[in-house]
Amino acid sequence: MVGRLALLVASLAALLGLLEAGLRAVERDLEAARRDAPQGPLHVPCGECGAVYRLNPLHPEVDDLGMRRGASGRPAPGAAARSILVLGDSVTFGYAVEAGRTFTAVLARARPELEVLNAGVTGYGVYNELHDYLERGRALHPDLVIVGLDPNDVVNPRLHWDYLAGHGLRIPAASIPDPCFDRAVALPVVHSALARALHLMLTEIVVSRRQPPVHLTGEDFLQTIDLLLDYDSRQWRWLRSLLGELHRSVADDGAELAVAIFPLDYQLASTYPFHPQSLVLRYCAEEGLRCLDLLPVLRAHREEFPFEDTWHLSERGHELVAQAIEQHLLPKAAGAGAARSGQPTVMGGRGRALRRASRISGPQRREPHPRRRAGRAPRALRLPPRAGRQATPRPPHALDPWLERAHARARSEPA
């Protein structure tokens, strides 16, 4: 009896070993195909950079600033411009729509006097966005920084990053919202191809049957929207810490930070019971941030199908978001019309934040931050319009040494 049990265990172990080896071989082939594609992978690790990975600077869809080509709007040389930098994930990047249909591109066409830069990267969360701003975004000297906040920004990023940028990616401890979940679930899953496959299969089954829907990602069924319903949870403390650091950094640079809060598609139902956006608005009130809740405007146009899937906006969704951001977060254009239907919820800043907001929404300007006065001379981009401010063309890669090194390696390689 003992011998038969031992034989059964050995056979099962051998079968599992063969399955693991076969799945790893398939994954290696898929990763090699992605890496060796004619245009190259869209995402690449960036060494010791804080953002963990970036868009591939040699990919044809990536422009000279390391952003999605065609999703930004830059005024012609010599045109007056204020600069808007939008940080975000695949929603901001414009997954599932053409670059010219993203809300940043729509904004740029609607407001040609503004420079609108789309720094969205698929798979990014607030941790990546903070470090991308510190390492690259602040060198662009934006007047206004808008960060797109999604409910799935608080999930463990390991599974998603592993898929996007390859196995073995360096994962900083500070990027993990819940270290206990990371050790108990995420790490064992990513270390086994068989565990990854079984976890994805189980996630698909659970997500398809759970009502009301509460899933935050397509890679994991254990992390649900209720993570954001407790303001004192690990995830919320982690999120507040990162947003606070981003807020301080942007303010130190003499700019304003605003938050655009994106919903999930299943939240558009009028009877949906969970609305963590209210806690984001609470945080904005406490910190004096201007925050724009996009749930009301997208819900008002639910019949126009503003989503392609649970997370990503359709072309119509991008148009609606562009209209809401233009109306509530951008400086008013001359001859601006009446308010549009489907009003989003806006939490205005208080105290110092409102005084900061006045520098971009009106002609009055406060004195620049002491660090800005001591650190560099005023740029033409930041002069008031009456002084004949002109946008200064940026030489490719001059703002990012990592981009310059990547292109230098490409130039040195034989054709």
List, for residues 85-126, the tens digit of each pLDDT value. Answer: 999 999 999 999 999 999 999 999 999 989 999 999 999 999
Check whether the bond before 212 is cis (ω within 30° of 0).
yes
Residues 6+ positions from 395 with CB-CB distance below 8 Å: none
Residue 291: inside a domain, yes or no?
yes
Do 23 and 110 belong to one domain? no
Is residue 349, in this structure, part of any structural domain at all? yes
Statement: residue 332 has pLDDT above 80 = no
Please indicate, yes or no, if residue 24 is contained in any of the structural domains.
yes
Confidence class for position 391, pLDDT limits 50, 70, 90: very low
Q: Which sign does the torsion angle of CA 43, 44, 45, 51 carry?
A: negative
**Confidence band, pLDDT 50/70/90 cuts, at residue 208:** confident
> Residue 387: what pLDDT?
35
267 and 342, same domain (yes or no): yes
Rg of the Cα trace of the chain? 23
Residue 217 lies in a domain: no
Residue 211: burial class (beta carbons within 10 Å; 0-12, 13-18, 19+): exposed
Burial 250-273 (b: 16+ CB within 10 A, else e): bbebbbbbbbbbbbbbbbbeeebe
Per-residue pLDDT tens over the stretch 26-83? 666 556 665 556 667 888 888 888 999 999 999 999 999 999 999 999 886 766 578 9
Tokens matching residue 387: 């002084």
The confidence score (pLDDT) of residue 104 equals 98
205 within domain boundaries: no
Task: Name the domain count of the chain.
Answer: 2
Same domain, 17 and 80: no
Q: Cα–Cα distance between 326 and 385 in angstroms, integer?
A: 20
Q: Whole-angstrom Cα distance, residue 41 to residue 33?
A: 9
Q: Under a CB-based contact definition with an 8 Å cutoff, are residues 63 and 57 in contact?
A: no
- The pLDDT of 277-291, averaged and rounded, is 96
Which residue from 192, 191, 195 is spatially nearest to 220, judged by alpha carbons?
A: 195
Nearest alpha-carbon partner for 219 in 253, 196, 249: 196
104 and 7 belong to one structural domain:
no
What average pLDDT does the segment 356-372 reach? 38
Q: What gap in Å lies between CA 267 and CA 287, rounded to an integer?
A: 26
For residues 143 and 353, which has the higher predicted lDDT (pLDDT)? 143
Whether residues 247 and 316 share a domain: the answer is yes
The CATH code of the domain that includes 354 is 3.40.50.1110
- At 226-279, the pLDDT tens digits run 999 999 999 999 999 999 999 999 999 999 999 999 999 999 999 999 999 999
pLDDT band at 302 (very low <50, low <70, confident <90, very high): very high
Give the span between the Cα atoms of 365 and 323, in whole angstroms.
26
Question: Does residue 361 share a domain with residue 335?
Answer: yes
pLDDT bin (cut points 50, 70, 90) of residue 2 is: confident
User: Residue 12 — pLDDT band, cuts 50, 70, 90?
Assistant: low
> What percent of the chain has a predicted confidence (pLDDT) above 90?
53
Please tell me the distance from the alpha carbon of residue 301 to that of residue 293, in angstroms, as a whole number.
Answer: 15
Question: 73 near 114, Cβ under 8 Å?
Answer: yes
Evaluate whether residue 251 is within a structural domain.
yes
Position 354 pLDDT exceeds 50: no
Question: 25 and 78 in one domain?
Answer: no
Residues 372, 284: one domain? yes
Q: Are residues 139 and 257 located together in one domain of the fold?
A: yes
What is the arithmetic mean of pLDDT over 364-380?
37
3 state DSSP class of 86: strand
Question: Which pair of structure tokens corresponds to residue 146?
Answer: 């808008």
Please state the φ and ψ torsions of residue 257, each to the nearest 5 degrees: -105, 135
Q: Which residue segment(s) compose the domain that 4 sits in? A: 1-36
Q: Do residues 242 and 335 both lie within one domain?
A: yes
**Domain-located, residue 368:** yes
Residue 86 lies in a domain: yes
Residues 255 and 395 in one domain: yes
Same domain, 14 and 81: no
pLDDT-based confidence at 156, cuts 50/70/90? very high
pLDDT, the chain, mean = 80
Q: Give the pLDDT confidence score for residue 285 in this predicted structure.
A: 96
| Torsion angles phi and psi, residue 331, rounded to 5 | -60, 145
Q: Using N-to-C axis directions, what is the helix angle for 103-110 and 315-328, rounded to 10°?
A: 50
Alpha helix ranges (H) inside 120-215: 126-135, 158-165, 179-181, 187-190, 193-209
